[in-house]
Structures are given as structure tokens and as C-alpha cells.
Chain A
Amino acid sequence: MKSHVLRPLWVVISFVVLALIIRHFIVPSDFGIHEKGFTYGYYRKSNEDEWKAFKVKYQTKEYCKECHEDKYEENMSSKHGIIQCENCHGPAIDHPENPEKLAIDRGRKLCLRCHAYLPYPTSNRAEIKGINSSEHNPDTGCSMCHDPHQPDIEG
């Protein structure tokens, strides 16, 4: 059957088939509609596992306790026991292998995060002992006088 209408139609059909074949190889097999339906769940399923495999860096106090139990006990008995070790010592990652030594932040600015006096009556900030940084020994490191592990004892 020869027709000037059918011939371009075959061309179009072959293009569609070709596009579908290419699409089959390009789009991953787990890409499609998942639990949350087409509106919210149209995605590549294996990406969930890729996010789950992301590296954990902050290991929390319990991890530090395994080797540094003396420091842990000392710290937990003080008001600063609520603060994670890694907030000041930096993320442990795979310490002691990587990094072998943690970079401790001893700057005044670290202490000022909580202890810079701010006159905010409706915030818990007003409950924390605060200083005016430009008046309270401005050129000295805080740890010269205060023990960050046990701030109740002035060293």
C-alpha cells in the first residue's frame, strides 16, 4: 500500500519507537512512581540509599567516652555537661585514625556564643551568666582563668 499520508506516518512511528528504546537504556530501572504517588514520589529509588551512606562526622559524647572516660566524667559533673565535646573540639569523624588530633577551638568567640551578655528578657539567654567582652579582660583567653570542662571551679 503506497500513500503520501502513510509514508511520513511510518517515519513518525519509527522516531517514537527509537525514542522509547533510547529512554529505556538511559532511565534507571528504579526510576518511577513510589510510595508517595506521582505528585511526591516520582524519583530514583536508589538515591535514598545514597543519602543513607553519607559519612557521619559528629560521633557524640558516648563515642568520646570510650577512650576519654576521665574527661567525660569530669565534664558531666559540671554545668557544661550539657555541651557536646565536639562543639569545641571539632567533629571526631574517625578519630583516632582520621584525624589523629582534633583541632580545638580555644577562641574567646566560642565562649561568647553563650556568655556574651544580651539583655533579652523573654529568652533563656538572660538566665546564663554573661560578660561584656570589651570590658571583661579583653586580651586574655577565657581558659586562662576558667576551666571549660568544669567552669564551676576557677583554675
Chain B
Amino acid sequence: MKFTRRDFLITAIKGALVTTLPMGAVRLLSPSEVRASIKETNVRWGFLIDTRKCVGCGFCVKACKNENEIPYDVPVTRTWVERYIVLKDGEQLIDSPMGARDGFTGQRVRERDVDPKDIAKAFFVPKLCNQCEKPPCVQVCPVGATYQTPDGVILVDRSWCIGCGYCIMACPYGVRFFHPVHRVADKCTFCYHRIHKGMNPACVDACPFGARRLGNLKDPNDFVTKTILSKRVGVLKDEYGTKPMAYYIGLDENVR
């Protein structure tokens, strides 16, 4: 068979088309499509706590315990409020009776009467799970019962947890506890069931003073994201490298 110039050109064009077409198909994908194909979400939940606004009423703790069915009279809680009193001689008094479930209604601290004249500074600090970007509690789980969701929340699989308590030990912030009814590890979920319906976590709704806020850290127009990017904020125990996602305004050096 004779291979003419015409045959050569047709074969060359066909070959070029065959090799370039799949390349073109790849290049047509936009970055967002690529992100969608590897199932990366555009949501990363984060928390902002303004300690200057907190008055220690404890409505957040009450709401959290009721919402998440945490036994009310057992001293375990997913969120709590700490009272810090720094005296003029440098002594620190820190308490959180029953996690401040009933608020702070008296001046007695740890069975001790404090003279108001001796107080240098006193304030309240709400605490909850930091939903760390690098959570040590997840790394230590031997059975894969606790995990990080694609939108950054750390959850516990109650049917999978064996209750060994490693994660409770591993958390530098002490936010995990052993659930006395379900007999598994338990922790703050940012009210995962509420935030997926477009609601706020129960503690955020319950706070009358706006001291707690939830936001999407991947949305640059979100109030929380804008505040974190433009105001002076701090995180707890930064030195552990856990990259906590609960940011604090007005954090004091005495807060651990």
C-alpha cells in the first residue's frame, strides 16, 4: 500500500486531535470544580468568644446541658464558665462551681470571702471545645471512634467508642469527659445538629450579651472571620501546636 502525502497529513491531524482532546478536557475544570471533586467543603466552623462581654450568668451552660442531654446534676459539662479573680498581691482565685451551670451569684470563692478592695481584676472566661485543626484527641483514638468532619468539627461515634479514655487524657484543654449514661467519651459538637439547619449552637443563642459567636472561617465576609482577621485575638495554649479554632477577645495572661 502506498502512503501518500494526503494519508500522512490526515493521520497526523487525527493523532494530534486524539492527544490534545483529553488534555483540553482536564484544563476545562475550574479550581472550584476540582475542589468539589475531591469533596473539599467551603465551610470551616470557628468560634469567637468576647470575654469582656461575659458576665458569668451561666445560661450557656444550662442551655448546652439541656440541648445535648448531658445529665443535669452530674458535674460533667461540654461548656463551662470560669471565674478569675486576681488579687492585688498577685494571688489568683479561679473557680467554676458545677461548670457555672447556675451562674455566679455570690462573692465567696472556694469557701473564702474576698474583700472587694483587694481585687486587682476579675472577669469570666467561657470555655468549650476548640475544634482544633490538629486535634491530639483524634490521633490517640485506637479504634477510629473520634474524627474530624470535613467542616472541621470533632465528633465521637457513640456506637464505635470503647470508652478507653485516651482522648480524655490527650486533650490539653480538658474539654472531654466520660458520658455517665452512654458510657462513652463525650465532647462539644458546636451543636452539629443545629448548625446544619442554619441555627446557632444552643450556647450562642442563650447568651444575652453576644459573648459567644459561631462563624465560617472560610467565608471572608463572616463576622467572626472578619473579627479574627482585623482585631487582636488570642487562642488558648498555642504552644501545643493544636491550632485551636476558638478565638478569644480580651484574653488575660492568667487564663490557661
Number of interface residues of A (CB under 8 A): 44
Alpha-carbon distance A118/B55, docked complex (angstroms) = 10
> Is the Cβ of B192 less than 8 Å from the Cβ of A113?
no
> Is the Cβ of B205 less than 8 Å from the Cβ of A84?
yes
Which residue of the partner chain, among A31, A51, A84, A86, contacts B155 with CB atoms under 8 Å? A51
> Is the Cβ of A109 less than 8 Å from the Cβ of B105?
yes
Alpha-carbon distance A95/B68, docked complex (angstroms) = 18
> Is the Cβ of B208 less than 8 Å from the Cβ of A84?
yes
Residues A123 and B199 in contact in the complex (CB < 8 Å), given A40-B148, A51-B155: no
Question: Which segment, of A8-16, A52-60, A64-72, A142-150, faces chain B?
Answer: A52-60
Write the chain B residue with the least CB distance to A48: B149
Number of interface residues of B (CB under 8 A): 57
Distance in angstroms from A109 CB to nearest chain B CB is 6
Question: Which segment, of B18-26, B138-146, B174-182, faces chain A?
Answer: B138-146
Alpha-carbon distance A114/B105, docked complex (angstroms) = 8
> Is the Cβ of A42 less than 8 Å from the Cβ of B144?
yes
B49 at the interface (CB under 8 A from A): no
CB within 8 Å of A: which of B171-218? 189, 192-194, 196-197, 199-200, 202, 205-206, 208-210
> Is the Cβ of A47 less than 8 Å from the Cβ of B155?
yes
> Is the Cβ of A124 less than 8 Å from the Cβ of B144?
no
Distance in angstroms from B139 CB to nearest chain A CB is 6
> Is the Cβ of A114 less than 8 Å from the Cβ of B206?
no
Write the chain A residue with the least CB distance to B60: A87
Alpha-carbon distance A58/B69, docked complex (angstroms) = 12
Question: Which segment, of B121-129, B162-170, B229-237, faces chain A?
Answer: B121-129
Distance in angstroms from B150 CB to nearest chain A CB is 4
Alpha-carbon distance A80/B230, docked complex (angstroms) = 31
Which residue of the partner chain, among B105, B119, B139, contacts A120 with CB atoms under 8 Å? B119
Alpha-carbon distance A113/B61, docked complex (angstroms) = 12
A34 at the interface (CB under 8 A from B): yes
> Is the Cβ of A35 less than 8 Å from the Cβ of B54?
no
Alpha-carbon distance A22/B214, docked complex (angstroms) = 44
Which residue of the partner chain, among B147, B199, B202, B208, contacts A42 with CB atoms under 8 Å? B147
> Is the Cβ of B55 less than 8 Å from the Cβ of A125?
yes
> Is the Cβ of B52 less than 8 Å from the Cβ of A43?
no
The 9 closest A-B pairs by CB, nearest first: A113-B103, A43-B147, A54-B193, A120-B122, A119-B116, A40-B148, A113-B57, A112-B105, A47-B157
What are 11 A-B contacts defined by CB distance under 8 Å? A31-B144, A40-B134, A43-B157, A44-B144, A47-B155, A82-B210, A109-B105, A112-B105, A123-B123, A124-B52, A125-B56
